[in-house]
Structure 1
Amino acid sequence: MENIEEHKIGKKLNEGKTKEVYELLGCPGQVLIKSKDQITAGNAARKDQMVGKAAISTKTTVSVFRLLQDAGIKTAFEKQCGETAFVAANCHMIPIEWVCRRVATGSFLKRNPGVKEGFKFFPPKMEMFFKDDANNDPQWSKEQVIEAHFNCGGLQIERCEVDIMNRTTLAVFEILEKAWATQDCTLVDMKVEFGVCASTKEILLADVIDNDSWRLWPLGDRSLQKDKQVYRDLKEVTPEAMQVVKRNFEWVAERVQNLLVTKSSKRVVVIMGSSSDLGHGQKIKQACANYGIPCELRISSAHKGTDETLKIKAEYEGDGVHTVFVAVAGRSNGLGPVLSGNTTCPVINCPPISADWGAEDIWSSLRMPSGLGCSTVLFPEAAALFAAQIFGQFDHLVWAKLRANILKNWISLKQADKQLRNM
């Protein structure tokens, strides 16, 4: 963590209810976002000082952005700077709040009479609100956002950009929802904002994501809520009540640290039929690294050394580490079937198909004897992806990378289509 004193702070660029944005001299394209000890509700109709809130909010925001960045979500966050500030890419903010809801509560119930609190949305419900304090941030439709013709930092916000922000909001919500579930907490809803990076002109998740940004119910119980709603619900603001609010914020800031780690252990073990398959195996290992999955390479032939293959297999059973075996064997693939018939671990065939006999060899991986359940993929990247999907069922960090990758692929296609239409 750097200290604020290490930076030359320039003029104040912007100030909101809970933060200030400063120019960073000598750091073109970057700004300093400094949190304040102020807590507000109802567009600042209620506001109070909560000593220590700036540090608590910064701790929460930094952890959330690190989680999202590690997953592969593009954000404006750069690095923490002292206890109450962080450095971010300078962004021209898009004046829309994106809200994603899993559970109906709060203002949604007021705007949709007849819907009971606790109604769950599948998929999550997306809403947009135009940032206009004077008019209490009115709800906008997607069409209104498109027709507003915002130009932020030289980027025209059109249908493509609106769709990208919509999809990104959903991905961010689902990643954080999955992460909070590991702490037995329900992420009820959340709001995010986006900006256009001044230097790259790309849309980035920006602003802050802290305990003001969501509703969080431990054990799915509203009465245990730990978010800012506790402050909103106060009939009278007393020192004792503010201490309760502060303890809730501290609880979240501590728990959010747990979202950055996983307790589950995992590995992929690639067993190759011969040393000639090493190049293929190395590609699988490299692809596994993209998902944060440890990978080991071994060599054994199920035909020439069946007993040794089973000994190697046994080395990875019984130590409590979740294991996926990948069998890399060309010609007649006996390796995958032998492994599958003698372990409860998932087995993936990924044969290194040759140009000469590939069409014939592949059948030895596809036609399994009855009672065996090997899957078969042809590309090393696909083997790593399949393994990641298995681990992602119980490891939220792997799942987050998978979810972010789905978003990345979708955005890439969306932007390519826009480019084509503009030619």
Structure 2
Amino acid sequence: MTRSSLSIVAGYALGNLITEGKTKKVYEILQSPDEVLIISKDRITAGDGTKAHVLEGKAAISTQTTSKVFEILNSVGIKTSFIKVVNETAFIARKCEMVPIEWVTRRLATGSFLRRYPGVPEGYKFNPPLQETFFKDDANHDPQWAQEQIISAGFNLNGVTIAKDEVDIMRRCTLLVFEVLEKAWASQDCCLVDMKIEFGIDSKGEILVSDVIDSDSWRLWPSGDKKLMKDKQVYRNLSNVTLSDLDTVKRNFKWVAEQLESLTPPTTGLVVILMGSPSDEEHCRKIEKECHKLNVPSQLRVTSAHKGTEDTLNILAEYEGSNKKVVLIAVAGRSNGLGPVLSGNSVYPVINCPPVKTDNVSQDIWSSVNTPTGLGCTTVIHPSAAAIAAAQILALSDHLIWSRLRTLAFNNYVSLKRADKIIRTTPMQ
């Protein structure tokens, strides 16, 4: 394409070409200075660009793949630069200054790792996943860098100096991204062997997962079988590339893009919050709000195990016949019969979350804790704890809820990191 033909794309007026890589171009957007347009190319490369071929249709497949991956990451709360797709070969992202580091995560030993560490058998499983970093430098074949080298380089991007805190955050986020996508692919019986990502710093100083994540970015082995690989390694392994070979690579990439559409199934779980009295609604609404933050469906009901035992059991029967994965949260103070009755008449998990009053704390808690033998209901006090506990149960069979919980833990980590940086760098008044 010529420069003039790219001046308007999907209604966006393009400015300067910011950068051009082996498989994409990045343009300024005149009406949105904080955004860029990323256009994929019908090109596949390997060996730092020494091996390259035109692969017609790859641009559209790569854009489809990248957009779906970033949509998954965004949906579970991970901060990325991706904004939206504008056509089949281009998408809009937040404008970032890129950290010149590739962040690699490995679950299984294969590829270059085996060449660097002879004696390790292929398929050796890393628990936790192994993390490595490589400086982006094609002329020197992207040399592996230690954390100390990244810190010592003193990269300053959009006013942010990449120091130990920033490296720690990116390393932790890299692991999060890998584990989220690993869980997603596992739901389709496909092993995410390893992958690489990159980070950018936007104009607000935010660290964002950036660039692209497509079939150039990872190794995928359906059913954990290397012979079934669907990634770019198929192309890397070719000594002589024929049109038939390129067609096989394209079919593999298309398979990946199509499979991604199945990685975000609708949530089938439900948290049912049962209150023993309408006066407990405020407490229950807090639990409901915390469930909503995690995108966990919830429903409120009013029933008293003491005053309307039959009705309580009828409500329970409704959910047992729903074929849904249900977690029950019982909200009852004073003499809590609701949680034990639910637990004693169902195999659904039951969590007590009594609405304790300041004048009766110990008695309210004790009535939920000291239940008869043979019952499995547990007790928490804070609404957020009840919602998280319920979500953790549902996460055993729902990788998206699992991912949101993992992201919640990461965000807590980042908040502490930032608070620590502020307090240690703020001079005494």
TM-score (norm 2): 0.96
Q: CA–CA distance in 2 between the matches of 1:4 and 1:270?
A: 49
Is there any run of 5+ residues in structure 1 with no aligned partner, and where? none
- Give, in whole Å, the separation in 1 of the partners of 2:409 and 2:9: 37
Aligned mates of 2:170, 2:294 — CA distance in 1: 24
Name segments (4+ residues, structure 1) moved above 3 Å. Answer: none
Deviations along 1:258-302, one digit per CA (max 9) or x if unpaired, are 11224x511111111111011111111121112222211111111
Residue 4 of structure 1 deviates from its aligned partner by 3.0
**Counterpart secondary structure, 2:409:** helix
1:187 pairs with 2:209: no
Which segment drifts farther, 220-229 or 288-297? 288-297
User: Are residues 1:232 and 2:247 paired?
Assistant: no
What residue is the counterpart of 1:410 in the other structure? 413
Within 1, Cα distance between the matches of 2:408 and 2:297? 19
1:207 & 1:185 partners in 2: Cα distance? 24
Structure 1 residue 268 and structure 2 residue 271: aligned?
A: yes
- Which secondary structure does the structure 1 equivalent of 2:61 belong to? helix
Residue aligning to 2:322: 319
Q: Is the 8 A contact 1:270 1:328 kept in 2?
A: yes
Contact 2:10/2:86 (<8 A) preserved: no
Say what the alpha-carbon RMSD is for the aligned residues. Answer: 0.9
What is aligned with 1:106? 111
Cα deviation, residue 142, structure 1: 0.7
What is the alpha-carbon distance in structure 2 between the residues aligned to residue 389 and residue 267 of structure 1?
12
* CA distance, structure 2, for counterparts of residue 361 and residue 380 of structure 1: 15
- 5+ unaligned residues in a row in structure 2: which ranges? 1-7
1:65 and 1:394 map into 2 onto residues whose CA distance is 22
Equivalent residues, number: 419
1:129 is displaced (CA, Å) by 0.2
Aligned-residue offset at 1:105: 0.2
Structure 1 residue identity aligned to 2:38: I
Q: Measure the CA separation in 1 of the matches of 2:360 and 2:187.
A: 48
Report the 3-state secondary structure (helix = DSSP H, G, I; strand = E; otherwise coil) of the residue aligned with 2:38: strand
How far, CA to CA, are the matches of 1:176 and 1:72 in structure 2? 13
- In the other structure, the counterpart of 1:353 is 356
57, 60, 63: which is aligned to 2:62?
57
User: Aligned to 2:128, which of 123, 142, 157?
Assistant: 123
SS class of match (1:74): coil
List per-residue Cα deviations over 1:36-59 (Å, max 9, x = no partner): 111000001100000000000000
Could you say which residue in structure 2 is the equivalent of 1:257?
Answer: 261
Further displaced range: 110-119 or 314-323: 314-323
Write out per-residue CA displacement over residues 119-154 of structure 1, whole angstroms, 9 at most, x where no aligned residue. Answer: 000000000000001100000111111111111121
Secondary structure at the counterpart of residue 333 of structure 1: coil
Offset at 1:76?
A: 0.4
- What is aligned with 1:247? 251
Deviations 1:146-178 (A, max 9, x none): 111111121100000000000000000000000
Give, as a single letter, the amino acid of the residue that structure 1 aligns with 2:170: M
Question: Which residue in the other structure is 2:339 paired with?
Answer: 336
Alignment check: 8 A CA contact 1:63 1:260 kept: no
Select 1:211's aligned residue among 212, 215, 219. Answer: 215
Cα offsets for 1:282-334 (capped at 9, x unmatched): 11112111222221111111111111111111111022101111100011111
TM-score normalised per structure 1: 0.98
Q: Which amino acid aligns with 2:39?
A: K
SS at match of 2:320: coil
- By how many angstroms is 1:81 displaced? 1.0
Partner of 1:303: 306
Cα displacement (A) at 1:415: 1.0
Q: 1:95 aligns with which of 97, 100, 105?
A: 100
Q: Which amino acid aligns with 1:362?
A: I
